[in-house]
Amino acid sequence: MVMAPGRPAAGGAADGHGPSSASLDVRVIGMHYAPEHTGNAPYTTGMVAALHAAGHRVQVVTGYPHYPAWEVTEGYTGLRRREHLDGVPVTRVRHPVPAVPDARRRIVMDAAFTAHAAAVGGRRPDVVVAVSPVLLTVLAGLRWRVRWPGSAALRGRGAGRTALGVVTQDLYSRALTETRMTSSRVASLGARLEGSLLSRADGVAVVHPSFTPTLTGLGVDPARLTTIPNWSHIAPPTRDRATVRRELGWREDEVIALHAGNMGVKQGLENVVEAARRADLAGSKVRFVLLGDGNQRARLAELGADVERLTFLDPLPGDRFPDALAAADVLVVNEAETVAEMSAPSKLTSYFAAGRPVVAATWARSAASAELARADAGMRLDPGDPEALHAAVLATAGDDEAGARGRAYAADALGAGRAHAAYVAWVEGLAAGR
């Protein structure tokens, strides 16, 4: 039995009562996967786990873990590596990892990953799911839409073709434009490429409804678009807040404004560095903390070397991360002034679950703004205004009711079970539509 799109499979992972009776061969192709713990990796890993729990035979083709440090994790060597993670076979393929991930180097990395991923053989799947970013993985998925003459691996699989689904975590064309990493001509070519590739998919799952106008404007059939929001994937805090603050070196008389996650171009964290400088000049009780890693961290540390009320923290283990979020006074989202529509910051799912008020320096039309308003969990201000960011932190600190609303929103709207059920139903619907 295969269920229609939008409905969970009976008895499947959607309702937590074991595998479904419809068993599909599903290949998931995406550069980011566990053990990466930030960015889109936790969501791809969670989707795969849900499909596996629903009784489907899932194979993952992914890259070597490198994000957000932009260097391959120690111990991952060779051109190809096979492993099993939580019962799922995973094939890792080598690709370059640029120390400076500008547009040209990113394109080379993405193309190399796509070429190597497309070369991974095996049983012809019923459904291929390509995860963007990287957009070019759609090409690796399209390779399975064609039955190669003489290929023994593809014989005996019946007349039904392989269905192709794409999970869109970021808008590729908007990213090229908003990060200003490339020329307008290249950005225009990128938009045409995105429209062309996504239009060839049987279905496209977007993580936020704000993506829909851009994709339909690129020629993607709106009937093929499904919104499946990201979910809160961190555990609740478990340790005493005062103890955690002492361990992190945060005084009780300080207001800790914490930004946690990637330190890249689109975050525009120079604004946070300058807000901390304003806090110095004002003799403020606010301390800004940047927790994590990324290709801009070294430059930000240099920029803020003389700023007293600015602290950098290395990434924390998964069991300590929720405690750090809950120990802060305010959680900060910051986007570059040029960024508005390219992505929905995944950190918000963790922020809301932590139960702390949020300050978001982001444009009113952004997905982050929409989510913050929906949760009613804090304050939005325009990006690129460090004085306003400092003032917003002071105004929001101590707003426990906003934090409680965010936690309630996470519990009600950002549960993993709901999203996992939606992914299972979406994949089964793609198979049914063949």
Q: What is the pLDDT of residues 125-162, one digit of tens each?
A: 999 999 999 999 999 999 997 654 433 344 444 446 89
pLDDT 10s digits, 330-376: 999 999 998 877 778 889 999 999 999 999 999 999 999 999 999 99
CB 6 within 8 A of CB 434: no
Cα separation, 160 vs 171, in Å, equals 31
DSSP 269-317: THHHHHHHHHHHHHT-SEEEEEES--TTHHHHHHHTTT-TTEEEEPPPP
Q: Confidence class of residue 198 from pLDDT cuts 50, 70 and 90?
A: very high
CA dist 1 and 15 (Å) reads 16
**pLDDT of residue 77 exceeding 90:** yes
Residue 403 pLDDT > 80, yes or no? yes
Does residue 68 have a cis bond before it (omega within 30 degrees)?
Answer: yes
Alpha-carbon distances of 8 from 2, 11, 216, rounded to whole Å: 10, 9, 26
Gyration radius of the chain over CA positions: 22
Are 13-231+415-432 and 241-413 the same fold in CATH? yes
Alpha-carbon dihedral 137, 138, 144, 147, rounded to 10 degrees: -130
Q: Within a 10 A sphere around the Cβ of 343, how many other Cβ atoms? A: 25
Tokens of 263: 């330190």
Q: In the chain, what are the helix, strand and coil shares in percent, each to the nearest 5?
A: 40, 15, 45
Helix (H, G, I), strand (E, B) or coil at 110: helix
With pLDDT > 70 as the criterion, what percentage of the chain qualifies? 91
**Token pair belonging to 42:** 């936790």
Task: Report whether 156 contacts 130 (CB < 8 A).
Answer: no
The tokens for 178 are 């908003």
Residue whose tokens read 């932590």? 354
Assign a CATH topology to domain 241-413: Rossmann fold (3.40.50)
Distance CA 374, CA 388 (A): 22
Provide the token pair at 206: 């977007």
Joined tokens for residue 162: 């392989």
Domain extent listing, the chain: 13-231+415-432, 241-413
Tell me how far apart the alpha carbons of residues 292 and 290 are, in angstroms, rounded to a whole number: 7
CATH topology of domain 13-231+415-432: Rossmann fold (3.40.50)
